[in-house]
Structure 1
Amino acid sequence: MSNPRVLCLGEVLFDCLADQLGLKLEEVQSWTPYPGGAPANVACALVKLGTPAGFIGAIGEDEPGKALVKLLQEIGVDTTGVQLHPTAPTRQVYVTRDLAGDRTFAGFGNYDTTEFADTRLQAKQLPDSLFQEADFLILGTLELAYPESEQAIHCALKLAERYDLKIVLDVNWRPVFWKDPNIARQKIQETFKQVDFLKLSKEEAEWLFDTADPGAITYRLDSIEGVLVTDGENGCAYCLGGNEGKLPSFSIPVVDTTGAGDSFLAGFIHQLSQHSIQNLNDVETVKRIVTYASAVGALTTIKPGAIASQPTAAEVEAFLASHQL
């Protein structure tokens, strides 16, 4: 396997999706576990598109943890950076869905959010060699909520800067992981200074910047190379290499939106690694890159589960050949 060009740091877990739509947590009769966790989703989607990727995160020495590592390895994700914790369990998240398939996080079963292995990621165990060879580091913000994994994030950012990786932050704000939203906002905003590309949902953008305009966010952050603001079925706005635009979403029947944003990000990074960042000053190249990312995101919604539904590069090309934005 070639060295991973993209490192995805954070959580890998099971999303337990409610089998019955439109019910509250206590009304759901059965759940189906699907592998997920935003950074792991991105790593898997990248490999399926043809860009070598590695996952860095901590899991429990339990059956769910073993199953997740096996899945990552079967897909072809580099697992050198996976740490095993002897006592903390692998995270499982319960997810209810409305009648349209949109999801709501509904809790962690019998555990408190602080008890899971992903919160125990150790800074001193991050493999230096992975960073020496990679081009991109992709982070979420969940790990900033816990002291040990927060240290690991800051260590990874230092390694990325030392070895000149481009740093991509996908905010992926989930209130359920934090005790205080004000502390969350402060910690997330502090990381912006070290980031090259920022991906946010429209709600996250408004929460953090009081605007969903990617140009205004880019101007405010000053040092950033690109901002993507996704808005589900309403499409995506972007400011990349100084080029601003907005694209609608592809109109296709949606089964499950889990992981669509992660696939969108993977599509973007995959294209970025093929076109080179210098080409972001070309309007048409930028539009093609974002259109491709939107197609990868859209194709992920037509089947349930975040990872199982991710498309291959050939499937994306075929889709783009038959669908116009």
Structure 2
Amino acid sequence: MTDIVAIGELLVDFTCSRLDGETIYKQNAGGAPANVVCMASKLGASTGFIGKIGRDMFGFYLKKVLFDNKVDTTGLILDPNYSTTLAFIHNDEEGDRDFVFYRSPQTAADLNLRYGEVNRELIDECKIFHFGSLSLSSEPARTATVNAVEYAKMQGKYISYDPNWRPLLWESKEAGIRAMKSAAQYADIIKVSENELQLLTDCGALIPGVAKLLGAGVKIICITQGAKGCIIATAKGIERYPAYKVKSIDTLGSGDSFFGAFLYKLLKLEKSIEELDSEDILEMAMFANACGALCSTKQGAIPAMPSKEDIIKLMETVKPERN
């Protein structure tokens, strides 16, 4: 049985650096759902990915990255009629990121995944089915994703969801928020930033927003706060967990690494969500915090993902700090 299967975008991130006064862009594999399963796989979980990429130089590169990270690619389609999505990321001196995407509904492979192409056998075999909002931004991928999530829900799988708000990839802000909200109804586990929580719930304060999601059926809410750590909320309570202080150089993929580690830990506990106690949540949150922190110390998403040994070492040698 597969631990985690994700559906959604798999793309090439071009991350920038400076060399002799010139801006250099380096090719790295990316896409939030793919990042999550790669992180979980690196920690020892069995994972799979469902999606579509172009049968081009970038697509062949991405398939190899998943293969090298021991992610099952039987659900990955390389389509010669479409192109692999590309993203260019620039970090300014304050660490803020600026994205430029080459992804249109007419040409992008990931947006042209059809439900008939979804490998449902992978869903049948998994414990957690993971998705994000970006595959909802255009048809036919929107219908394929929703139908796949509904199928997984009917099969009794845990559904994990990352809204991953990227306003540039939606026809309008209103359309994006509407789709993000609609998808949240399926989630058992959700990872959000504070801004995404506000967009999903229309609540300006954190506690009412959390209460609204819990009332809608979400069982675990992970609110990532970067250098401040994270907040985890369940029906049993809400608690903030401090971050590990590291020298951060690139936060790309850190949230996905956090979530991949969090889901991995949930599976390792071999408990239902309802059975989790405060010690379990503490273990999951701090392991995920350490993982996300270490990912930010290197450039890129998947190439920066830490090993389990490095995560444990950080937890043993660095005292987490409350900001």
TM tier relative to shorter chain: over 0.9
Distance across 2 between alignment mates of 1:169 and 1:214: 20
Task: Verify: 1:213 aligned to 2:211, yes or no.
Answer: no
Structure 1 vs Structure 2: percent identity of aligned residues? 29
TM-score, L = length of structure 2:
0.92
Post-superposition CA distance 1:175-233 (Å, at most 9, x none)? 11101111111111112221111111111112222245267424444211111111211
- Post-superposition CA distance 1:84-113 (Å, at most 9, x none): 2212110110111112443211342xx646
Matches within 5 A, 1:167-246: 167-209=159-201, 210-211=203-204, 213=206, 216-222=209-215, 223-246=217-240
Which of 300, 303, 317 is the aligned partner of 1:305? 300
Query: Residues 14 and 26 of structure 2 are in contact (CA less than 8 Å); yes or no, is this contact kept in structure 1?
Result: yes
- Map 1:1-325 onto structure 2 (within 5 A): 3-20=1-18, 29-108=23-102, 112=104, 114-209=106-201, 210-211=203-204, 213=206, 216-222=209-215, 223-275=217-269, 276-278=271-273, 281-325=276-320
Give the conservation status (yes or no) of the 8 Å contact 2:198–2:209.
no
Call closer, same or farther: CA 1:220–1:304 in 2, change over 3 Å: closer
Distance 1:280 1:243, change over 3 A: farther
- Preserved contact between residue 250 and residue 297 of structure 2 (Cα < 8 Å): yes
Cα 1:309/1:7, change in 2 over 3 Å: same
* Cα pair 1:215 1:238 within 8 Å, conserved: no
Which residues of structure 1 form unaligned runs of 5+?
22-26
**211 and 242 in structure 1: CA distance in 2 versus 1, 3 angstrom threshold:** farther
RMSD between superposed Cα atoms in Å: 1.9
Relative to 1, partners in 2 of residues 1:319 and 1:218: Cα closer, same or farther, differing over 3 Å?
Answer: same
Unaligned runs of 5+ in 2: none
Matching residue's letter, 1:213: L
Query: What's the offset of the Cα at 1:238?
Result: 1.5
CA distance in 2, matches of 1:67, 1:220: 38
Q: CA deviation at 1:301?
A: 0.7
Q: Report SS of the residue matched to 1:284.
A: helix
Give the Cα separation in 1 of the matches to 2:181 and 2:2: 28
CA gap 1:171/1:220 in 2 versus in 1, 3 angstroms: closer
CA separation of 1:323 and 1:29: change in aligned 2, threshold 3 A: closer
Cα displacement (A) at 1:234: 2.1
CA contact (8 A) 2:290 2:314 kept: yes
Contact 1:260 1:306 in 2 (8 A): yes
8 Å CA contact 1:192, 1:221 repeated in 2: no
- SS of 1:17's partner is strand
Distance of aligned partners of 1:62 and 1:10 in 2 relative to their CA distance in 1, 3 Å threshold: same
Using a 3 Å threshold, how does the CA distance of structure 1 residues 18 and 28 change in structure 2: closer, same or farther?
farther
CA contact (8 A) 1:243 1:286 kept: no
User: Equivalents in 1 of 2:30, 2:181: separation in Å?
Assistant: 25
Cα deviation 1:258-290 (Å, max 9, x = unaligned): 000000000110011011234654112111111
Please tell me whether the aligned partners of residues 105 and 112 of structure 2 are also in contact (alpha carbons under 8 angstroms).
Answer: no
Aligned residue identity for 1:152: A
- The alpha carbon displacement at 1:322 in A equals 1.0
The answer to whether the 8 A contact 1:53-1:77 is kept is yes
Name the TM-score, length of structure 1 as normaliser.
0.92
Instruction: Report the CA distance shift for 1:236/1:28 in structure 2 as closer, same or farther (over 3 A).
Output: farther
Contact 1:175 1:181 in 2 (8 A): yes
Q: Which amino acid is 2:304 matched to?
A: S
